[in-house]
Chain A
Amino acid sequence: MNVLLGLAGSDESITALRRTIERTDNVGDELTVAVLEKADTDRSQEEMYRQAEKLLSEANLDAEIERLEGDPGASLVNYAEQGEFDQLVIGGGTISPMGKIQLGSITEFVLLNAPTTVKLVR
């Protein structure tokens, strides 16, 4: 399967990255990683890019890593649409202090606009 993983700068993105690497390793998917441009996140686009590079190389995975500029949701869906991807993978939400699952604006945009199957990683 041809998988596109979208990463913003949050902890949920790190979880999505780790789980997707595991899965790719197990089943031999083709993986492309898109690092999104998003303001006010825990990690900058550059830090996230390096983190992805590091974890992929530790796992000995040969995956393309792309930086996408502009609105994170729109650029990710656009990139997915231009390529030949079977699945788009993103983080599956954050947990509030109460324990409620919260989906952010990127998730909502991707779910409502992506032409491919979308996987939310928890």
Chain B
Amino acid sequence: MSGRVYPDTASGSFPAPPSTAEDQSDRQIEFQAVDEFEGEVLDDTVEMYVEFDPTDRAQGIPPTGETRIRNWLETIAEHSVNVVARHGEDVIGHAVLVPDSDDPDSIEDVGDVEWELAIFVLQAYQQSGIGTQLLKHLLGHAIELGITHVWLTVERWNTPAIALYERVGFEPTGTENFEQEMGILLD
């Protein structure tokens, strides 16, 4: 593992997918874990990112344009852990963990590696509590799989996002440049 500093206490009791919740605009939102990130669910996620407003990009992701979006998702697909939020048929939120490993094929125990987290919610569904729920469901799913160490980077001036991560249990890892790095230890 790297030299990242994780919180002393582990966080737990997150909801696990599948589940359905009503958001603050009375929309029925379904949270689903993705078994194989391919086919229809991959197509639906690509579609979400095609609709995504580039103003909310972070550190170059998601890329823009369908081809580059698909390339990016296919690159991380095989070894990643994914939870999507759906409203009806549409994917409107996506949260993902990617293993921090040069050789992901050789991972024997998912608890032995650190996982990088990213989460995106389509603009029309932001500020309605979906992001928090999606994040918690991804962490709940991660715990089921045996993942223990999760980190992320967030632009340092993005205080709403940092506050959200802190509420869930993330703490700064000690690395802070333009991006604030944060980590969570899962129970």
List chain A residues, Cβ under 8 A from B76.
Answer: 97-99
Output the least CB separation between A43 and chain B (Å): 17
Interface residue? A104 (CB, 8 A): yes
B61, A98: Cβ atoms under 8 Å?
Answer: yes
Nearest to A112 among chain B residues (CB) is B178
Nearest to B3 among chain A residues (CB) is A40
By a beta-carbon cutoff of 8 Å, the part of chain A in contact with chain B is 96-105, 107-108
Partner of B98, one of A97, A103, A104, A107: A97
Complex Cα–Cα for A97 and B117 (A): 10
Nearest to B96 among chain A residues (CB) is A98
By a beta-carbon cutoff of 8 Å, the part of chain B in contact with chain A is 58-61, 63, 72, 75-76, 96, 98-101, 116-118, 153, 177-179
A97-B116, A100-B179, A102-B59 given; name 20 further pairs at CB < 8 Å: A96-B59, A96-B100, A97-B76, A97-B99, A98-B61, A98-B96, A98-B117, A99-B60, A99-B63, A99-B76, A100-B59, A100-B60, A100-B61, A100-B118, A100-B153, A101-B60, A102-B177, A103-B179, A105-B177, A108-B178
A96, B178: Cβ atoms under 8 Å?
Answer: no
Complex Cα–Cα for A97 and B102 (A): 9
Nearest to B104 among chain A residues (CB) is A97
A98, B177: Cβ atoms under 8 Å?
Answer: no
B178, A98: Cβ atoms under 8 Å?
Answer: no
List chain A residues, Cβ under 8 A from B58.
Answer: 100
A97, B59: Cβ atoms under 8 Å?
Answer: no
Determine the main DSSP class of A at the interface with B.
loop
Complex Cα–Cα for A89 and B116 (A): 29
Nearest to B97 among chain A residues (CB) is A98
Complex Cα–Cα for A97 and B177 (A): 18
A97, B100: Cβ atoms under 8 Å?
Answer: yes
List chain B residues, Cβ under 8 A from A105.
Answer: 177
Residue of B59, B99, B153 most packed against chain A (CB within 10 A):
B59
Nearest to A107 among chain B residues (CB) is B177
The 7 closest A-B pairs by CB, nearest first: A100-B59, A101-B60, A97-B98, A101-B59, A108-B177, A98-B116, A98-B98
Residue of B76, B100, B118, B179 most packed against chain A (CB within 10 A):
B179
Nearest to A105 among chain B residues (CB) is B177
List chain A residues, Cβ under 8 A from B72.
Answer: 99
List chain B residues, Cβ under 8 A from A101.
Answer: 59-60
Nearest to A96 among chain B residues (CB) is B116
Output the least CB separation between B137 and chain A (Å): 18
Complex Cα–Cα for A105 and B178 (A): 8
List chain B residues, Cβ under 8 A from A96.
Answer: 59, 100, 116, 153
Instruction: Enumerate 23 A-B pairs (CB-CB under 8 Å) in ascending A order.
Output: A96-B59, A96-B116, A97-B99, A98-B116, A98-B117, A98-B118, A99-B61, A99-B63, A99-B72, A99-B75, A100-B58, A100-B60, A100-B61, A100-B153, A100-B179, A101-B59, A102-B59, A102-B179, A103-B177, A104-B177, A107-B177, A108-B177, A108-B178
